[in-house]
Amino acid sequence: MEKVNVIKVGGAIVEDPSSLGSFLEMFAAVPGKKVLVHGGGRTATAVAGELGIESRMVQGRRITDEAMLRVVTMVYGGLVNKNVVARLQSLGIDAAGFTGADLDLVRSSRRPAGEVDYGFVGDVEAVRGEMLAKLLDLGVVPVLAPLTHDGQGHLLNTNADTIASAAAAALSAFYDVTLTFCFEKPGVLAPDGAVIEEITEKSFREYVSDGTVSGGMVPKIENALGAIRAGVSRVVVTSASDLCGGTLITA
Amino acid sequence: MEKVNVIKVGGAIVEDPSSLGSFLEMFAAVPGKKVLVHGGGRTATAVAGELGIESRMVQGRRITDEAMLRVVTMVYGGLVNKNVVARLQSLGIDAAGFTGADLDLVRSSRRPAGEVDYGFVGDVEAVRGEMLAKLLDLGVVPVLAPLTHDGQGHLLNTNADTIASAAAAALSAFYDVTLTFCFEKPGVLAPDGAVIEEITEKSFREYVSDGTVSGGMVPKIENALGAIRAGVSRVVVTSASDLCGGTLITA
């Protein structure tokens, strides 16, 4: 099967012009078919602040009322996405920016209010993998913003890691998919600071129970293992400055 | 040759939720391949105002400094474009929103500062008609925001009428293209308020010299006649509530 790389890059990297530039050069150099998924939370918080709108987060997730939905639609769908696309085009990459509403690529349902009402936040229901595959076959490099839609005309704010996992899983029907999460650290770190080279479903449970892996890294790896179960060949957690290193997560 | 409709809808229509809804239903009902080009100036002015940024217009064109470029990137590329796409998807239309940077669809050069320095404003240089045609052949309905790029990584604010004309002209190499400009009035109006049914290159000059056509309608029709010279089969200027009426502009 032909290889496809789905690469997720966090907000901290895309929102700093210098780290964005070096990341995009590295992304441009990745051979073959590829998809980029980006965040943008810090810019959303900044623009919301300029508009006098307070950002409220619960467990790292943004409460998205109507005013905040307008902000993230502007920031993720417009400001961040289109600047990334323009820069990739200048590097000779035939990028096209999409939200989940475009081409019905990622459909979601609004998360029901439980203990927390996250507002206009979508849980992914379906990725249109065959359309993503058609775009890849045209030579297009899709750049996905963390927004989805409910099919009823409403946009929904959606976690970029989840979109990356769901897109990678959907593409696994057509390609041998590697899903890479880029962030600030060189990989999943042991308490002594060393990069853990490989994590499997089994060793993950041990690492969690002995405290080697904790905090925000736990849901990230759970998400990665879910992608593996959904057909993704391998997941890599690495630094945005080293797409070849990091922690490999496999079955 | 297969027919394609390129339809430009102005800001006043896309920015009022009720007129947008009825317009999009009408657009959805247009048979065959089609492209939508939208404005969004009023929303850009409103969002700029909320951010404490003053909108400055010269001869109806927006002065786009760096702060305003950020606003129009958010508003045209994100807020307006993605809401239109989500609503079209809910109507069963396989819409995908693009700026000129996406897929290098519309490349421009920054307008040199003359008597007026318009700032980050692009004059269209090239439309990638064959990629637009590939999208149409996939069943995609492109929704174009009034932003272009210079190929060097920079977005530029660009007049939506010009983008519609240039896209229609580029598609004329592959299709029989009708270009429709929707706005607030039922067509080009004579001084007595009647719709002028047809305007040709020759009658346009007479209408201008006898004052029948004046003001902002003159550049609009010049733009339309330019599209005809560039291969577009026909241009229609009509109301957003009546895609079948209006003024027909032909060679």
The b-or-e profile of B1-12 (16+ CB within 10 A means b, else e) is eeebbbbbbbbe
CA A230 and chain centroid, separation:
16
Can you say whether the dihedral through the CA atoms of A31, A37, A39, A40 is positive or negative? Answer: positive
- When computed from its CA atoms, the radius of gyration of chain B, rounded to whole angstroms, is 17
Whether residue A153 and residue B90 make contact (CB cut-off 8 A), yes or no, is yes
Whether domain A3-182 has CATH 3.30.420.10: no
Query: Where is average pLDDT lowest: A11-20, A48-57, A70-79, B118-127?
Result: A11-20
Instruction: Identify the pLDDT of residue A242.
Output: 83
**Mean pLDDT in residue range A57-72:** 93
From residue B146, alpha-carbon distances to A17, A29, B11, B47, B200 in Å are 24, 30, 11, 16, 27
Residue whose structure tokens are 């069963």: B92
Residue A99 in tokens: 């939200």
The C-alpha atoms of residue B84 and residue B75 are separated, in whole angstroms, by 12
**Mean pLDDT in residue range B59-71:** 93
Whether residue B50 and residue A51 make contact (CB cut-off 8 A), yes or no, is yes
**CATH code given to domain B3-249:** 3.40.1160.10
Report domain extents, chain A: 3-182
Nearest-CA neighbor of B145 among B219, B84, B232? B84
Query: What percent of chain A is predicted at pLDDT more than 70?
Result: 100
Q: Strands, E, within chain A: which ranges?
A: 3-9, 33-38, 57-58, 61-62, 95-98, 106-110, 122-127, 141-144, 147-149, 155-157, 176-183, 198-199, 234-239, 247-249
From residue A8, alpha-carbon distances to A144, A165, A202, B25 in Å are 9, 9, 25, 36
The answer to whether residue B145 scores a pLDDT higher than 90 is: yes
Residues of chain B in Cβ contact (below 8 Å) with chain A: 47, 50-52, 70, 73-79, 81-83, 85-87, 89-90, 94-99, 101-104, 134, 138, 140, 147, 149, 151-155
| pLDDT tens-digit series, residues A210-247 | 999 988 889 889 989 999 999 999 999 999 888 888 99
CA A213 and chain centroid, separation:
21
Query: Where is average pLDDT lowest: A56-70, A147-161, B123-137?
Result: A56-70
Query: What percent of chain B is predicted at pLDDT more than 90?
Result: 85
3-state secondary structure of B8: strand
Instruction: Identify the pLDDT of residue A183.
Output: 82
Nearest-CA neighbor of A44 among A89, A10, A90? A10
A65 falls in which pLDDT band (50, 70, 90)? very high
Instruction: Identify the pLDDT of residue A166.
Output: 96
Instruction: Identify the pLDDT of residue A220.
Output: 86
Write the residue in B77, B86, B94 that is nearest to A155 by C-beta. Answer: B86
Q: Strands, E, within A67-166: which ranges?
A: 95-98, 106-110, 122-127, 141-144, 147-149, 155-157
- A85 contact residues in B (CB cutoff 8 A): 99, 101-102
ipTM: 0.95
Check: CB of residue A64 under 8 Å from CB of residue B59. no
- B77 contact residues in A (CB cutoff 8 A): 77-79, 81-82
The C-alpha atoms of residue B54 and residue B189 are separated, in whole angstroms, by 33
Instruction: Identify the pLDDT of residue A15.
Output: 82
Give the list of residues 6+ apart from residue A224 with CB closer than 8 angstroms, or none: A165, A179, A181, A235, A237, A249
For residue A38, the distance in angstroms to the closest alpha carbon of chain B comes to 15
- A93 contact residues in B (CB cutoff 8 A): none
Cβ burial, residue B191 (10 Å; 0-12/13-18/19+) = exposed
Check: CB of residue B77 under 8 Å from CB of residue B145. yes
**Mean pLDDT in residue range A152-158:** 98
Check: CB of residue A170 under 8 Å from CB of residue A132. yes
The b-or-e profile of A210-248 (16+ CB within 10 A means b, else e) is eebbeeebeebbebbbebbeeebbbbbbbbbeebeebbb
For residue A184, the distance in angstroms to the closest alpha carbon of chain B comes to 25
- A82 contact residues in B (CB cutoff 8 A): 73, 77-78, 99, 101-102, 147, 155
Instruction: Identify the pLDDT of residue A251.
Output: 86
The C-alpha atoms of residue A74 and residue A82 are separated, in whole angstroms, by 10
Instruction: Identify the pLDDT of residue B241.
Output: 84
H/E segment holding residue B96: strand B95-98
- A74 contact residues in B (CB cutoff 8 A): 47, 74-75, 78-79
Whether residue A86 and residue B153 make contact (CB cut-off 8 A), yes or no, is yes
Instruction: Identify the pLDDT of residue B217.
Output: 87
Mean of pLDDT over chain A:
94
The b-or-e profile of A21-40 (16+ CB within 10 A means b, else e) is eebbebbbebeebbbbbbbb
Residues of chain A in Cβ contact (below 8 Å) with chain B: 47, 50-52, 70, 73-79, 81-83, 85-87, 89-90, 94-99, 101-104, 134, 138, 140, 147, 149, 151-155
- B76 contact residues in A (CB cutoff 8 A): 78
Residue B232: phi and psi, rounded to 5, are: -65, 135
The answer to whether residue A98 scores a pLDDT higher than 90 is: yes
Length of chain B: 251
| pLDDT tens-digit series, residues B152-194 | 999 999 999 999 999 999 999 999 999 999 988 899 999 899 9
Instruction: Identify the pLDDT of residue B14.
Output: 85
Bridge partners for B144 per DSSP: B37, B98
Instruction: Identify the pLDDT of residue B39.
Output: 94
Output the pTM of the full model.
0.96
The answer to whether residue A11 scores a pLDDT higher than 80 is: no
3-state secondary structure of B70: helix
Whether residue A99 and residue B94 make contact (CB cut-off 8 A), yes or no, is no
Check: CB of residue A158 under 8 Å from CB of residue A121. yes
- A99 contact residues in B (CB cutoff 8 A): 82, 85, 97
Interface with chain A: mutation pick from B38, B79, B132, highest number of A CBs within 10 Å: B79
